[in-house]
Amino acid sequence: MSFDNAYEAITESNDERHWAFGTGFDDPLSGVDRTIPSGVDRADLTAYCLMLGDDALILSQRLAEWCSRAPELEEDVALANIALDLLGQARMLLTRAGEVEGAGRDEDALAYLRDEPEFRNVRLVELDCGPGPGGDFATTIARLLVFSSWRLALLDRLGTSRDPVLAAVAAKGVKELAYHRDHAAQWTLRLAGGTDYSRDRMITGLRTVWPLVEELFTPHDIELRLAAAGVAVDPATLRSEVDGVLDEVLSAADLDRPDVPGMAPVAGRAGRDGVHTEAMGFLLAELQHLARSLPGATW
Amino acid sequence: MTRSSWPLYEVFVRSKRGLNHVHVGSLHAPDPEMALRNARDLYTRRNEGVSIWVVPAAAITASSPDEKDPFFAPSGDKVYRHPTFYAIPEDVPHL
């Protein structure tokens, strides 16, 4: 075997020795106990898995929109990689939601056949940051910085959940989110410290996403009940850690925390209750239309 | 808004501990730190490596194809420089 050329080494034989970590991709949840923890309401646990799964699914869709349209080829791949990490988390969480619900819905049914009011993602992830009209790269980075800082803190605590599946998904996700946060922080520093123009765009991006930050730390009744049962994380407890991370990045970038009012819930209800912004319908139309137009289609 | 392109970086990946870094390709990045991250995303997404080096392409001085003969041909007939008289053990894969 020759190691003069990495691609020769890849194609030369079926020998797996040249892959640093091999090619055997195991199910990340293999061997994980899938029983539902005692004393936990099934409907609550189903809804909670949908909350965390929908956050990942919808942001994955938003990031995938950049595919082939990012400012540079390298960034195109980076955003798609992050989208794929989140899609992987969404699949495990939606599968768990369907399993706990016990009504025979699998990950595909939950992703493609639910209507907007049944989606429980926070509104931050559905915000249209582009690449189409009205969106831009800096806003995408601002959203990713906030979201990944928040989700990393959340998954870090969820690792000790009494639900073994949630704990396993969280343990896997922490490594992924740490990279997403790093990517967003690196770009925040560069856009803020680049030209006057890039700095203005970064400031505008932060102001665009900031009204949706408050919702991230507003606990839903289901989250509070499950947190009391040792299964979920009360998002209000994440505030000081996430604030600390964001303050560190913003101060390194010499940026101020935007002073903008939060987007109010609608009659006390927001994303976690299935009440979304107008961007959500368009997003779901694109996400779901193929599966709904050709029911049961396979690749 | 004028667009200027990012500088080119050459990427070297070590596929395993104990082996050397091998050139796998190049990419554009605004600075070395981002080049390292872009390399992670472009060249190690299928378990290709445990270590990455990035080098500004401008920092590499390369031999020219025009000088191929004077550079390399003279070593072509010096058989005594090759260890062809030793038996190489089969279980030493990367000698």
Q: What digits encode the pLDDT tens for the residues A7-52?
A: 554 554 545 555 566 666 677 788 888 899 988 999 999 999 999 9
Residues of chain A with C-beta less than 8 angstroms from the C-beta of B34:
186, 190
A18 Cβ under 8 Å from any chain B Cβ: yes
Closest listed residue to residue A86, CA positions, set A31, A143, A30, A22: A143
* Lowest pLDDT segment from A124-133, A152-161, B78-87: B78-87
Distances A153 to A173, A214, A233 between C-alpha atoms, Å: 11, 15, 10
A11 Cβ under 8 Å from any chain B Cβ: no
Best residue in A74, A136, A199 for a mutation probing chain B (most B CBs within 10 Å): A74
Residue B1 is predicted with a pLDDT of 46
Does B46 sit within 8 Å of A19, measured CB to CB? yes
SS3 state of residue B8 = strand
A190 Cβ under 8 Å from any chain B Cβ: yes
* Rg from Cα positions in chain A: 20
Quick: pLDDT tens for A234-244.
Answer: 999 999 999 99
pTM, two decimals, is 0.87
A259 Cβ under 8 Å from any chain B Cβ: no
Does B19 sit within 8 Å of A74, measured CB to CB? no
SS3 state of residue B12 = strand
Does A197 sit within 8 Å of B47, measured CB to CB? no
**Closest CB from A3, A10, A72 relative to B6:** A72
Quick: pLDDT tens for B15-31.
Answer: 877 788 999 999 999 99
DSSP string, chain A: ---S-HHHHHHS-S--TTSTT-S----TTTT---PPPTT--HHHHHHHHHHHHHHHHHHHHHHHTTTTTSSSHHHHHHHHHHHHHHHHHHHHHHHHHHHHHTSS--HHHHHHS--GGG----GGGG----SSTT--HHHHHHHHHHHHHHHHHHHHHHTT-SSHHHHHHHHHHHHHHHHHHHHHHHHHHHHHHS-HHHHHHHHHHHHHHGGGTGGGG---HHHHHHHHTTSS--GGGGHHHHHHHHHHHHHHTT-PPP--PPPPPBTTB-GGGT---THHHHHHHHHHHHHHHSTT---
Does A74 sit within 8 Å of B41, measured CB to CB? yes
Closest listed residue to residue A90, CA positions, set A131, A137, A144, A54: A54
Amino acid identity of residue A206, one-letter, is L
Residue A2 is predicted with a pLDDT of 45
Confidence of residue A296 (pLDDT cuts 50, 70, 90): confident
Q: What are the domain boundaries of chain A?
A: 38-293
Does A182 sit within 8 Å of B37, measured CB to CB? yes
A9 Cβ under 8 Å from any chain B Cβ: yes
Displacement of CA B37 from its chain's centroid (Å): 18
Residues of chain A with C-beta less than 8 angstroms from the C-beta of B93:
1
- Minimum Cα–Cα distance from A7: chain B residue: B24
Closest listed residue to residue B27, CA positions, set B17, B13, B42, B49: B42
Residues of chain A with C-beta less than 8 angstroms from the C-beta of B42:
74, 77
Q: How far apart are CA B33 and CA A4, in angstroms?
A: 26
Q: How far apart are CA A293 and CA A267, in angstroms?
A: 34
Does B50 sit within 8 Å of A3, measured CB to CB? no
> Can you tell me the ipTM of this complex?
0.72
* Tokens at A40, concatenated: 């936990």
Q: Are A279 and A212 in contact (CB under 8 A)?
A: no
Question: Which class in CATH covers the domain with range A38-293?
Answer: mainly alpha
Quick: pLDDT tens for A188-214.
Answer: 999 999 999 999 999 999 999 999 999
